[in-house]
Amino acid sequence: MILITGANGQLGTEVTKLLEETGLDYVATDSKDLDITDKEVTLSRIEEIQPKVIFHCAAYTAVDMAEDEGRELNQLVNVVGTRNVAEAAQKVGAKLVYISTDYVFDGTKKDGEYTVEDVTNPKNEYGRAKLEGELAVKELLDDYYIIRTSWVFGQYGKNFVFTMQNLATKFEQLTVVADQFGRPTWTRSLAEFMLYASEQAIPFGTYHFSNDDSCSWYEFASEILKDEEVEVKPVTSEEYPQKAYRPKYSIMDLSKVKGTGFNIINWQEALEKFKGSAQQ
């Protein structure tokens, strides 16, 4: 039995759809029927379900709001909630798959991609909370997969692709930052790796996962809108200030995932597949 937390979110919905397709037994929960911020509720519900694997997709992801009005909720969901889920997983003997972020790094690395062994140094509240969640998982469990990902897009929720497509219907010119570099991640690809990790029993530990190749936000936007009648103009981060710190460079090394035998498609192919699935 697989338990999904945050099953109504962008990733959780994708995971639920994948498990439907594969015919595996699962229980999909959201905050209404599994409030992970309540320790007693979390423990009793997970003891009742007795999952073998927990896909912990529940998260607070409003990065800018986490800096001020959302700071308490960010801490409650991403730290306290994750610790509660990890303690429950420990109690029932379940494997835990925890989704983390490239924001655990400060984005200042000059010599190559971020590896799983690199020192973390989050510079915003969201990244700090997700790292605290990682540490709770490591402290409580041996049987876990921490999967750090970045620039997530998918069919089931707000994301950069939908935002760009929507803006392109309203404006003739869009400005997008060209000095922040990373790797886009399609939720379908991420969901498939989550299932692969748990089903194939790859070595426990921390992994970096996104689609292959890298780009700037400007290059990502240009590819998204290549068939649209809109001009995409590059700007600097200074010209587009945001409340929360954004890493200038968050390209994560994918070699550990590739070493498991999992095939990672590049982000351009993932984007095309996503566009095709979104139109169906």
Strand runs labelled E in the chain: 2-5, 26-28, 53-56, 95-101, 144-149, 152-153, 173-177, 181-182, 185-186, 205-208, 215-216, 231-235
Whether residue 118 lies inside any domain: the answer is yes
What average pLDDT does range 60-80 have in this prediction? 93
- The pLDDT score that the predictor gives to residue 203 is 97
Residue 70, domain member (yes or no): yes
Tell whether 117 is covered by a domain: yes
Distance CA 215, CA 55 (A): 28
pTM score, whole prediction: 0.95
- Bridge partners for 3 per DSSP: 27, 54
On whether the CB atoms of residues 87 and 133 are closer than 8 A, the answer is no
pLDDT of residue 3: 98
The yes-or-no answer on residue 207 being catalytic is no
Strands 215-216 and 181-182: antiparallel
Read off the pLDDT of each residue in 159-167 and give the average, rounded to a whole number: 93
pLDDT of res. 149? 98
Give the pLDDT of residue 280. Answer: 55
Catalytic residue among 114, 126, 144, 218: 126
- Residue 81, in any domain of the structure: yes
pLDDT of residue 247: 87
| Residue 242, pLDDT above cutoff 90 | no
Flag whether 164 is in a domain.
no
pLDDT of 223 higher than 70 = yes
**What's the chain's average pLDDT?**
95
The pLDDT, as a whole number, for residue 240 is 77
Q: Residue 3 has which token pair? A: 């338990």
Residue 152 has pLDDT above 70, yes or no: yes
Q: Which domain holds residue 63?
A: 2-159+183-213+250-265
* Count of structural domains within the chain: 1
What confidence tens digit (pLDDT) does each residue in 103-125 have? 999 999 988 999 999 999 999 99
Sorting pLDDT into bands at 50, 70 and 90, what band is 200?
very high
Task: Say which CATH number the domain at 81 has.
Answer: 3.40.50.720
Q: Which two tokens stand for residue 200?
A: 């194939």
The answer to whether residue 66 sits within a structural domain is yes
In the prediction, which pLDDT does 279 show?
A: 60
What is residue 244's predicted lDDT score, i.e. its pLDDT? 85
pLDDT at position 245, please?
86
**Domain for residue 276, yes or no?**
no
| Cβ pair 207, 145 in contact under 8 A | yes
Among 278, 184, 280, 260, smallest CA distance to 223 is for: 184
Residue 9 lies in a domain: yes
Query: Residue type for 170, please?
Result: K
pLDDT, one tens digit per residue, over 135-146 is: 999 999 999 999
